[in-house]
Amino acid sequence: MDTTLQDPIVGQVLDGRYRVDARIAVGGMATVYRAVDTRLDRVLALKVMHPALAADVSFVERFIREAKSVARLAHPNVVAVFDQGAEGAYVYLAMEYVAGCTLRDVVRQRGALRPRAALDILEPVLAALGAAHRAGFVHRDMKPENVLIGDDGRVKVADFGLVRGVGDVTNTTGTVLGTVSYLAPEQIEHGTSDTRVDVYACGVVLHEMLTGAKPHSGDTPAQVLYRHLNEDVPAPSAAVPGLAPELDRLVAAATARDPEERPLDAVALLALTRAARAALTDAQLDAVPPQARPEAEDGAGADGRTAVIPRIRPVEVPDDEPVRHTSRLEMAPSDVAAPPGRTRGGAGGLRGMPSRGGMPSRGVLAAIVAVLLVLGVGTGVWYINSGQFTRVPSLLGQTEKEARKRLGDEGIDAKVTRDFSDSFDRGTVMGTDPEPRSRVRGSGPVTLVISRGPKIVQVPELAGLSLAEARSALKKAGLASGLVKREFDEDVARGAVISSTPEAGADIRPDSGVALLVSKGAPIDMPDVTGESVEAATTELEDAGLTVKIAPDRVDSEQDAGTVARQSAAEGTRLAQGDTVTLTVSKGPRMVSVPDVTGQKTDDARKALEDAGFQVKVERNFPFLGDTVGEQSVAGGEQAPEGSTITIKTKGL
C-alpha cells in the first residue's frame, strides 16, 4: 500500500511556494519529500521536522542550525540548502534534490564493493567533510544513509542535522546522539565530538563497503556500544581474504579507539586515502569480493535511523520497591481478574452473566464496577475536563504579530518576553510557555518568547595575559579560544598574549572563536659549538636560555673524540627560550687505510687519495723536471684518520 496517500502534507503547498508531491524517506527527526518550488519551477527536496519534535526548542534550533551551517559550506559534494521556514506545525528545509540512491541501498543490494568503487565513494565524502571541518563544523552522524549517489554518479553528503562546532561538547542530559554502529568511543563514553568522530565513522563506512557488513554486531544497541568501546575494528581482510594490506591500514588508522591516534580531520584522512590508492595495483583495486548477504542493523533498527541512546548507568532500586508499576491508565480489561469460579468472557462480555436480560450476580457486578472505576471513570473525568482546555499551537519562527493573531483566533491571551537567540531571527517566536501542544485552561495566557537576535559579546583585553589566563577570560566572556599562533617578540614575555583577532573591544557573537598571537620571547641566535667539549657547549647553550639534550649514540667525526660532532640547530638559527638543542658527541675520526701512490702521476695519485677519504697536498721537489710521486707523508698500507691531509712529493727525471 502506498503510505504517502495517508500523509497529510502530500498535496499541500507550504508557505504558498513549495508544492509537496511525494514522500521520499522518513528519519528519526524529519520526513523528506519531493516537492516543486512553484516560483522557480524546479524540483527540490523538502525536509520537514516531525510535528512532535517541532515543539522542542532544542530540536528546532538544531534543525535551523543545519540550514545555516550547510548554506555556508557551498561544496559540490554537500547537499545544498536553498531555504528554511515554518508554517504552522511544520518546520522545514528546502534542499537540493538528488535523483539516485543512498550508499545504504548500494551495500544492501550488492554487499561488498570492489576497493576501487569503495575509494571512489569515500574520497568525495571526505572532501565534503573536509570542507565542513575546515569551516569549523562536525557532522556527527556519518553513515551510509547520509551518502547520496546520484544517477549521474555524483556523491553528496546529506543530513547535517546533528552538526556542531568543532570544539562543542555533546553531552546533553545523559544522551548520545548518533547511530550506534558508527559512534566513536569518545562519543559513547564521554559525549564529546570533534572532527575525529567523523573520521572514525568514515573508517567504519569504509570497512562496511569493503566487507558488506558492519565491523561490530550485536543483538542490542548496548552490545554494539560495548564493542566499540572495548574492541578494535577488525581488518577488512579478515572478512574478505586477499584485500590489500594498505586498505587494512587505512581502516585501522581511521578507527583507532584512541582519538589521538586518528588523522586529525577528514582532510588528513583524504590524504591517507589517496596515498593508499596510489600504492595499490589495478588488480588490487579491481579485486572482486565474495558476495555475502549484509547483516542486520545490529540493534540500530532496520532502517538505520539516528537514535537517541541513553547513557549506560547503573540504576539502584530499593529492595522493597517493585521494579514495574502498572498505573490505571496502562491497565487493560484483561488485567482485571474475574471473580473466583468464573472465566473471562469473549465477544459477548463476562461469562456468567444472564443471557436474557436478568440481573447479573453480585460477583459479576463487582467485576463490572471495577472495570468502570479503572477505565470508565478516568475517561469520564478526561471528557469533562477536555472541553475546558485549549492546546497551544506551534508558533516557532512566526513573527510576533502572526503569533498574537494565531493565539487570538484560538481564544488565548498572549504575553510577551524577549531573549537573545542565534537561531531565530529578530522579532520571531523562539519559544512559548507553556510549550506547543500543551493544554491551557480557558484563555490562558501563553507567554511568547520573542527573539532579540544574536547577543553581541565584546572581546576582552587579552594582551599581556598568559595563554591560560586569556582562555579563561574568553570563556568568562562567552567566547571560545581559536587558533593560537606564536612568534618572537622582544617586548612581550614568553608565553604571554601579544594580540588577538578580532582585537580587544570588537563586538562579536557569543561562542565565536578568538585567535591569539602568543609571544615566544626574545629570539636566541644559535651559536656554533661543534668541536667544543660537551661540558663547555652545554654551559654556553644553557647560559643562552636553551635546553640541552645529548644524543645517546656517538658518531665518527673529524672532531676529536669526546667533543661535539653535530648540533640539531644550525649556527644562526633563531630559537626561543627553553627550546631544546640536541648535541651529538664525536667518537673521533674513522681510521682509513692509505693507498700506495708512489710512482703514479700526481693527478692519478691525488684522485686515489681523495677517493679514499683524504685531503691531498702536493709538493714538487724539482719543478718542471717531473710529475711522478716519489714520496708520500703516510706510507701506503698504513692507517690514517679519515679526512686528514696526505702530502705527496714529486721526484726528478
Could you tell me which of 202, 197, 228 has the C-alpha nearest to residue 215?
Answer: 228
Contact present, 578 and 486 (Cβ < 8 Å) = no
Angle, CA of 596, 601 and 606, to the nearest 5°: 60
Quickly count: other Cβ atoms within 10 Å of residue 457's Cβ.
18
Written as one string, the DSSP assignment of 483-536 is EEEEE--SSS-TTBEEEEESPTT-EE-TT-EEEEEEE--S-EEPP--TTSBHHH
Is-catalytic flag, 105?
no
Angle, CA of 166, 169 and 173, to the nearest 5°: 150
Give CA–CA dist 228/217, Å, rounded. 10
One of 2, 15, 105, 141 is an active-site residue; which one? Answer: 141
124 alpha carbon, distance to own chain's centre: 16
Could you tell me which of 397, 411, 466 has the C-alpha nearest to residue 444?
Answer: 411
Give CA–CA dist 135/266, Å, rounded. 12
Could you tell me which of 204, 216, 22, 228 has the C-alpha nearest to residue 103?
Answer: 204
Which grid coordinates are listed for 534? 660537551
What single letter denotes the amino acid at residue 522?
A
3-state SS of 280-296 is: CCHHHHCCCCCCCCCCC
Give CA–CA dist 239/426, Å, rounded. 55
Tell me: cis bond preceding 51? Omega within 30 of 0 counts.
no
Contact present, 291 and 224 (Cβ < 8 Å) = no
Distances (CA, A) of 54 to 87, 285, 435: 11, 47, 10
**Residue written as grid cell 526548542:** 57
Annotated catalytic residues are 141
